[in-house]
A and B are shown apart, each in its own frame.
Chain A
Amino acid sequence: QVQLVQSGAEVKKPGASVKVSCKASGYSFSSYGISWVRQAPGQGLEWMGWISGYNGNTNYAQQIQGRVTMTTDTSTRTAYMELRSLRSDDTAVYYCARDGADIVVVLEGTSEYFHHWGQGTLVTVSS
């Protein structure tokens, strides 16, 4: 069965960096991508960006572009999200979700996307 398993909770100081991992199993990693979504305490869901498991192409949300890097290691079927220059408002639960392998989505393909999510990783930014 499809599983996405994320790394554990992190506590970081303002200005530091954090790298969250998302290890995939149960499907062909290169046939899909990974989107990262975060949720600040008591707030809604915010899409952060996407990476293709096929070719490593990325697309980031404007509000964090320049501070975020998403990568994959196809040998270990793991996606990573690194966020730099952390601020207190980066405190959130970070989720990975299986998405498409291409930035252009075919409607029929959406049946496979955002159905499987990681368990979430709490990142706390505090001095």
Chain B
Amino acid sequence: DIQMTQSPSAMSASVGDRVTITCRASQGISNYLAWFQQKPGEVPKRLIYAASTLQSGVPSRFSGSGSGTEFTLTISSLQPDDSATYYCLQQFSHPLTFGGGTKVET
């Protein structure tokens, strides 16, 4: 099984800060990676797919990069509405696996 190690597990940042979240895969997964944002009591919302493609309607301050085993989600200028938990998901092979999550507080 492919393990997804996400870091950090939690962080606090100020409005306007640049925030970077990392997911590392235990083996190469090409670009088969998605990023999700989840706020308390809400359904996960997909932000990025195929590692770097921004979901339509998602603010352009979100971006994804990486390939193979290391991936990053970047928020270029943190906004108050970005307080949430972020998860990565590898879709390269079954069983699909999520990262452990990163809780971002502003």
Contacts and interface: CB of A to CB of B under 8 A. Distances in A.
Do A and B make up one complex? yes
Interface of A: 35, 37, 44-47, 49-50, 59, 61-62, 95, 103, 105, 107-108, 110-111, 113-115, 117-120
Given A50-B94, A95-B43, A105-B32, A45 B101 contact: yes
Given A44-B87, A45-B101, A62-B1, A115 B55 contact: yes
A59 B32 contact: no
A119 B44 CA distance: 10
Nearest to A105: B91
B34 interface: yes
A1 to B, nearest CB: 13
Contact of B96 (A47, A107, A117, A120): A47
A47 B44 contact: no
Interface string B84-96: 0101010110111
A110 B95 contact: no
Contacts of A50: 94, 96
Nearest to B38: A45
Q: Tell me what chain A mostly uses at the interface: helix, strand, loop, or mixed.
A: mixed
A107 B97 contact: no
Interface centre among A105, A110, A113, A115 (most CB of B within 10 A): A110
Interface stretch (B19-27, B45-53, B73-81): B45-53
Given A59-B94, A110-B50, A110-B91, 11 more contacts: A45-B44, A45-B89, A47-B89, A47-B96, A107-B31, A107-B50, A108-B50, A114-B91, A115-B46, A118-B43, A119-B43
B30 interface: yes
Contact of B53 (A37, A61, A103, A111): A111
A120 B31 CA distance: 28
A114 B46 contact: yes
Contacts of A59: 94-95
B100 interface: yes
Contacts of B85: 44
